[in-house]
Amino acid sequence: MSTEPEFQDLYGAHLGEIQARWEASLERCGQDAAVVHSGTPLVSFLDDYEYPFRPNPLFLHWLPLTHHHDSVLLVKPGERPRLYFYQPDDYWYQPPSDPEGWWADHFEIEVTRDAQAWQGMLNGVVNNATAALGDSPDLGGVFSAAQINPSALLTELHLGRTRKTPYEIACMSASSHAAARAHRAAEAAFRQGCSELEIHQAYLEACQQTDDTLPYHNIVALNEHGAVLHYQGRETSAPADSRSFLIDAGCTVNAYCSDITRTYARDGGLFADILAAMDALQLQLVSKVRAGADFRDLHIETHRGVANILDQSGVINVDPEAAVASGLSAVFYPHGLGHFIGLQTHDVAGLIDNQGQDIPRPEGHPFLRLTRVLERDNVLTIEPGLYFIEPLLRRWRENGDVSAINWDVVESLVPYGGVRIEDNVVVTDDGSVNLTRPAFDALQLA
């Protein structure tokens, strides 16, 4: 949890904004209060091992308490939010420190030593019109099934989370700066010939975070591993020839995520040229982000851009429009252009409109995570990719127009895996603010 003054100054206004949003949502949904449980650790089957804990994001929307299980927040319209802060007397694990400092001044706080003590404290405070939010099994002992995570209220709250406050954007900017430092350390380790595990360790050291505090498991992929979109291996030995390096990795600040991808080539050549072209395409796409833009249109435009690079590089033998229309571009670019980001790496409400109705994905693009018309203060990723993925190439060879691909060129590029470039951007009325590029630029000036 950060204590930098910039967060302190913005935090109060953030709480005022989300209190107003929640009160309006509760009224529209016919509920008079919400109980938000931070979550209960999950213990592995037939063991006492606890899986890494991450609090309920609705709890984190209010509080930067990133490791605090079994705490409960009561939100009632017109009242100061009340926190039942779980602080056990424990000598097996380190308990949370006392609730004090820049965040604590905004809450009525009751410290509890028992994980279920909040249940008795709420007697006479909650009723059948109280919503309970979270996944802790303890909620079931107090609330009916209809009261737990009511869909109408969740939809309202999720839609509210798509519009980030200045506090949230400041946290995500700081997270981008932390991640940029770590990305630079990872790139240096790659150029020194390190293994994937060693590169990952260099990343952790540079950002001073652990695997459990990162927003997601880092993708640290050398050579052909870059063609595995969510590659999770960590080879302990360096390859004899480190030709290429793709790293998809972020950080968290006060629970808010960054999600950044960079790709590097060891030497010049066709793959390096493709990488440079993809970087230019990514910047072009970022320039088109603004309030009112339909993200589905940007995604389809990305396919045209990727197809053009494939054409210019001699990878395909058909014009770019034909490559998009036939589905050939999806062989090389099978994922979506981006997603909302915030308290979750793949943040909520990317596939519904402001009335909660589903917005369909474009036909033939089943993996797109964001279909909305963009609004001011949305924060999202822009991450075009171009890969040489053996199963997709094989399926095209078996079922598609074999002559559409220059297989000799593809064979020369398969050992490099692929390219992805990803920035995090804030939507404004007339454009966007890139949180990622300035974080890297600041390192060059330091």
Q: Look at residue 8 and tell me whether its pLDDT is greater than 90.
A: no
| Whole-number average pLDDT of the chain | 96
Q: How confident is the model at residue 4 (pLDDT cuts 50, 70, 90)?
A: low
Domain span holding position 272: 166-445
123 and 59 co-located in one domain: yes
- Angle separating helix axes 151-161 and 5-28, nearest 10 degrees: 150
How many folded domains does the chain comprise? 2
CB-CB contact of 405 with 376 (8 Å): no
The Cα–Cα gap between 61 and 371 comes to 23
Domain stops at, among 161, 192, 211: 161
Pairing of β 33-37 and β 130-133:
parallel
Q: Look at residue 446 and tell me whether its pLDDT is greater than 80.
A: no
75 and 135 co-located in one domain: yes
205 and 98 co-located in one domain: no
125 and 47 co-located in one domain: yes
Q: Look at residue 1 and tell me whether its pLDDT is greater than 70.
A: no
390 and 433 co-located in one domain: yes
Tell me what percent of the residues of the chain surpass a pLDDT of 90: 93
- Tell me the average pLDDT across 66-84: 96
389 and 287 co-located in one domain: yes
385 and 249 co-located in one domain: yes
Read off the pLDDT of residues 332-384 as tens digits, 9 standing for 90 and up: 999 999 999 999 999 999 999 999 999 999 999 999 999 999 999 999 999 99
CB-CB contact of 197 with 232 (8 Å): no
CATH (domain of 277): 3.90.230.10
175 and 121 co-located in one domain: no
141 and 174 co-located in one domain: no
pTM: 0.96
CATH (domain of 74): 3.40.350.10
CB-CB contact of 38 with 134 (8 Å): yes
Domain stops at, among 140, 161, 182: 161
150 and 214 co-located in one domain: no
The conformation of residue 37, written as its DSSP 8-state character, comes to E
- Tell me the average pLDDT across 405-410: 98
CA 66 to chain centre: 16
- Tell me the average pLDDT across 391-403: 97
Q: Look at residue 2 and tell me whether its pLDDT is greater than 60.
A: no
Q: Write the CB contacts of 139 (distance below 8 Å, at least 6 apart in sequence).
A: 35, 37, 132, 148
Query: What phi, psi does 436 have (nearest 5°)?
Result: -95, -50
More confident position, 223 or 50:
223
CB-CB contact of 366 with 406 (8 Å): no
Q: How confident is the model at residue 92 (pLDDT cuts 50, 70, 90)?
A: confident
Domain stops at, among 161, 180, 197: 161
- Tell me the average pLDDT across 251-261: 98
- Tell me the average pLDDT across 254-262: 98
CB-CB contact of 73 with 65 (8 Å): no
Predicted confidence at residue 444, as pLDDT, reads 82
Q: Find, among 364, 361, 270, the residue nearest to 309 by Cα.
A: 270
Predicted confidence at residue 46, as pLDDT, reads 92
Q: How confident is the model at residue 5 (pLDDT cuts 50, 70, 90)?
A: low
Pairing of β 108-112 and β 82-86:
parallel
What CA–CA distances, in Å, run from 77 to 3, 30, 59, 165? 28, 12, 17, 20
For residue 381 the two structure tokens come to 């990723």
Read off the pLDDT of residues 154-194 as tens digits, 9 standing for 90 and up: 999 999 999 999 999 999 999 999 999 999 999 999 999 99
Edge-to-edge strand ranges of the sheet holding 33-37: 108-112, 82-86, 72-75, 33-37, 130-133
81 and 219 co-located in one domain: no
The Cα–Cα gap between 34 and 148 comes to 10
147 and 210 co-located in one domain: no
What does R_g of the chain's alpha carbons equal in angstroms? 24
- Tell me the average pLDDT across 117-137: 93
Burial of residue 84 (CB within 10 Å: 0-12, 13-18, 19+) is buried
The Cα–Cα gap between 211 and 204 comes to 8
Q: Look at residue 29 and tell me whether its pLDDT is greater than 80.
A: yes
